[in-house]
Structure 1
Amino acid sequence: MIRSETINYVADGLSMIGQLYAQDATAAPRPGVLVFPEAFGLGYHAKSRAERLAGLGYVALACDLHGGGQVLDDLGAVMGLIGPMRADPASTRARARGGLDALLKQPGVDQARIGAIGFCFGGTMALELARSGADLAGVVGFHSGLLTARPQDATSIKGKVLACIGADDPAVPFDERRAFEEEMRAGGVDWQLHVYGGVVHSFTNKNADRMNRPEMVRYDAKTDARSWASMQSFFTEVFAA
Structure 2
Amino acid sequence: MALAIQTREIQYSAEDGTTLIGYFAAPQSDTPVAAVLVAPEWWGRNDYTEQRARELAEHGYAAFAIDMYGDKKTTTVATQANAWMTETFADPDTIVTRASAALKTLAAQPEVNADKLAAVGFCYGGKVVLDLARSGAPLQAVVTFHGTLTPKAPAQMGQVQAEILVLHGELDSMVTLDDVAAFKAEMYAAKVEHEVIVFADAKHGFSNPLADERAKANGVDLGYNANAEQQGLAAMYALLNRRLASDVA
How far did residue 74 of structure 1 move?
2.7
Task: Give the aligned partner of residue 136 of structure 1.
Answer: 139
3-state SS of paired residue (1:52):
helix
1:179 to 182, 189, 196: 182
Q: 1:104 aligns with which of 100, 104, 107?
A: 107
1:55 corresponds to which residue? 58
What is the correspondence of 1:67-216 to structure 2 with a 5 Å cutoff?
67-83=70-86, 85-86=88-89, 89-153=92-156, 155-210=158-213, 211-212=215-216, 216=221
Pairwise CA distance, 1:156: 1.4
Question: Displacement of 1:88 after TM fit?
Answer: 5.1
Contact 1:41 1:69 in 2 (8 A): yes
Contact 1:33–1:114 (Cα < 8 Å) also in 2: yes
Q: Which residue of the partner structure matches residue 20 of structure 1?
A: 24
Partner residue in 1 for 2:224: 219
Instruction: Tell me which residue corresponds to 1:229.
Output: 234
What SS is found at the alignment partner of 1:156? coil
Tell me if the contact between 2:9 and 2:22 (Cα under 8 Å) persists in the aligned partners.
Answer: yes
- Aligned AA for 1:76? T
RMSD of aligned Cα (Å): 1.7
User: 1:149 Cα shift?
Assistant: 3.2
The question of whether the paired residues in 1 share the 8 Å contact of 2:155 and 2:187 is answered with no
SS at match of 2:210: helix
Gaps spanning 5+ residues in structure 1: where?
A: none
1:186 alignment partner AA: A
Distance 1:154 1:139, change over 3 A: farther
- Per-residue deviation, 1:86: 4.3
Does the 8 A contact of 2:131 with 2:152 survive in 1? Answer: no
CA distance in 2, matches of 1:190, 1:9: 32
1:6-45 to structure 2, matched below 5 A, reads 6-11=9-14, 12-26=16-30, 28-45=31-48
Which runs of 5 or more residues in structure 2 are unaligned? none
CA displacement 1:101-136 (0-9 Å, x = unmatched):
110110121111000001000111010110110000
CA offsets 1:76-118 (integer angstroms, 9 cap, x no match): 2322232353475411111111110110110121111000001
Q: Calculate the TM-score normalised by the size of structure 2.
A: 0.91
Contact 2:26 2:111 in 1 (8 A): no
Deviations 1:184-214 (A, max 9, x none): 0011100010100111010111111112279
Letter of the 2:49 counterpart: A
The 8 Å contact of residues 165 and 196 in structure 1, kept in 2 or not, is answered as: yes
**Count of residue pairs brought into register by the alignment:** 240
Query: What stretches of structure 1 move > 6 A for 4+ residues in a row?
Result: none
What SS is found at the alignment partner of 1:234?
helix
Cα pair 2:23 2:66 within 8 Å, conserved:
yes
